[in-house]
Structure formats: structure tokens, C-alpha cells
Amino acid sequence: MDVRQVQTQLCVVIALLLLISSAAPTWGQDSDPQVQPRVELSVRSWLFTAGETQWSHNASGLDPLLGNPTSKLTYKDNDTHLVGLGAKVHVNRRLFLDGEFGFSVDFDRGSLIDEDYLAGQRLFSRTSSDITGKGTWYVQANAGYRAVEFQNGRGHFDVLAGLQYWRTTYEATGFSRIVCDSSVISCNPPASHLPAIKNTTHWVTPLHVGGQLEYRVTQRVSANIKMTFSPVSVVFNEDIHFLRDDLQQDPSFSMWGLGLGASAEPSLRIKLTRHLSLTGGYRVMWNRTYYGRWVNHPIGSGSESAPLHEFQTIRHGVIVGLTGSF
């Protein structure tokens, strides 16, 4: 998903929200912005998201003929649709608990690029495979405190602390050789249509902190932004390379690492009735390691370990939803 597509989607969402806000001037007249609901339930669609998982390792310490990075794999999926189910409970006037469970409902478009390097970063192999299945899901929970309330009920600022688990699995089928140095490896067959690779990533964020700002533009329309940051996220990853007969199949490679995590979600909220609101915005979720280890699992010999050069996962896209307040 390029910048122009992102801008187009944002413009469409904002235009639709403003149209609804201006076209139905009586829908929210029975609402009182000073009244705080006890429970909020939400259903949200994370539309046309683009996701990417990228990892690389440095095995030059095991063999000085290898590059740094030695291998780099980039998994991308396009136009993936996720559904999020959320709940928020106000314990009292200032303290609340919230959570969300999200999962993909289609996940079969994208590509895997697999690159291998020798010393001096001499590229000797690059292949491309199609992403053909599996998906992504996440669960998060927060405790929040209303730190600031603006005058005349114009909005508030909340501080948050919580945790998150995020899992993504890619299945890649077939390959086509883009670059192949026959002096280093065999270039046959030039292509395949068999199952190639399965990659499963687990990001565990034991603590993130952040804030959420809501500013009421009119009685029914408010602008919001929610941001979180985690100084410590833990990643566990497994790759199964089905076409490698020299590697074990459960898994072929495994990785773990420590990293950072962040998320951001600007949005608009329109109160349609006393108990129903429409929201629309854009969400970004991101994690990246600052330390990790890569381990191979060959057949007939012991495993070897090397530094994990990079591991990063990101997902972003337009989000639209409905929230019921009770």
C-alpha cells in the first residue's frame, strides 16, 4: 500500500464521516456530553490493511564467507480485512478498563521475498513466492485513568497502561528465481508451485503505556488520538522451509528477541444517538527488535546460533466502527 492509497483512504473516511455528521442534524440531539456511560461495546472493521514482517540474521561469525546480513526475508500482505471486538467498563468517574480482540477474515494476497548474501553483501539468491494463506490476530487490555477533564465538557485526556499479544502466520506457495548465482548454488528448478514456507510470529508486550485524547468539536463530533509505547516487547518466531531437505520441518529456523513497540490511532467520533456512535480513523501497529538470536535446525547435526540482525512487524490501515454506550 503506497502513500497515495493511504491518503485516498483517509480522505474517503473523513468525507463520509463529515457527510453523516452534517446530513443527520437531529440524530444526536438527545445526547448529553456530560453523561458518562458505564459500559461501551464496539465492533470495528480494520479495512484494506497492509502488513509486513521482515527478519534477517548475521551468520558471518559461523562462516566468514557469508554476508551481514546473511539472509533477509520480507513477508507482505495486501488489502487484509480485520474485525475488532472491544469493551470498555468505567469503574468510577475516572478509572476504567478496556480490551479488544481482533482477527483477520481474509489473508491470501501478498508476497515473500527471500534474499541471501555472501561477504561484501554479494547477492547470490533472490526468490519471490506468493502469500496464499493463514492470518493475523491480536488481543490487548488496558487500565486507564482520566487525568484531565477540559472545561465545559469539551473533552478529556486519559493515561493508559496495559499489555498485548499479537500473532501473524504467513503461508507462502511456490517460488520464482529473480537472482541466482550458479557458481554458488544450483539454479534448478527455476520455479516451483509447491508449498514453500510457513512463518509464525508471536509478539508479547508485557507492558505498554500511553495516552488517549478526546476533544469535542461540536456536541456530537469529537476528534480523538490514542498512542501507546512499549520499551520491552518479546518476539518468538518459527520458519518452516518445506523445500529444504537438509532442515527439520518443525521448525527449520527459530528466533527470539527483545524490542520496542508502538501504536497510534487518530480518529473522528460522531454520536448518532444517545447510545450509538460512529468512529473512523487510521491505525498503525509496529514492533521491532533491538536484540535477538537466530537458530537453525539441520537434519543430522546440532543446531547453530547467530545474532538476529533485524526483526520487524508493522500493520496499518483505515478503521471504521460502531460503539454502543450503556
Read off the CATH number of the domain in which 208 is found: 2.40.128.90
Containing structural domain, residue 307: 3-325
Count Cβ atoms within 10 A of the Cβ of residue 316 and give its class: 0-12 exposed, 13-18 middle, 19 or more buried.
buried
Q: How many domains does the chain have?
A: 1
Using DSSP's 3-state secondary structure scheme, residue 1 falls into coil
CA dihedral 230, 236, 242, 246 (to 10 degrees): 130
What is the structure's pLDDT at 36?
72
pLDDT value of position 79: 87
CB within 8 A of 145, min separation 6: which ones?
94, 95, 96, 158, 159
pTM: 0.88
d(CA 133, CA 171): 5
List of residues 6+ apart from 238 with CB closer than 8 A: 199, 200, 251, 253, 254, 255
**pLDDT reported for residue 70:** 97
Q: DSSP class of residue 6?
A: H
Per-residue pLDDT of the chain (326 residues; tens, 9 = 90+): 454 554 455 555 445 544 544 444 444 444 455 567 899 999 999 998 999 999 999 999 999 999 999 999 999 998 899 999 999 999 999 999 999 999 999 888 899 999 999 999 999 999 999 999 999 999 999 999 999 999 988 999 999 999 999 999 999 999 999 999 999 999 999 999 999 999 999 999 999 999 999 999 999 999 999 999 999 999 999 999 999 999 999 999 999 999 999 999 999 999 999 999 999 999 999 999 999 999 999 999 899 999 999 999 999 999 999 999 99
Q: What pLDDT sits at residue 164? A: 98
Beta strand segments in the chain, E: 39-57, 66-90, 95-106, 110-118, 122-133, 136-149, 155-180, 191-216, 221-241, 253-271, 276-296, 305-325
Q: What is the pLDDT of residue 35?
A: 60
Place of cell 476533544: 215
DSSP string, 311-323: EEEEEEEEEEEEE
Per-residue pLDDT at 76:
93
Q: Any idea what DSSP says for residue 304?
A: -
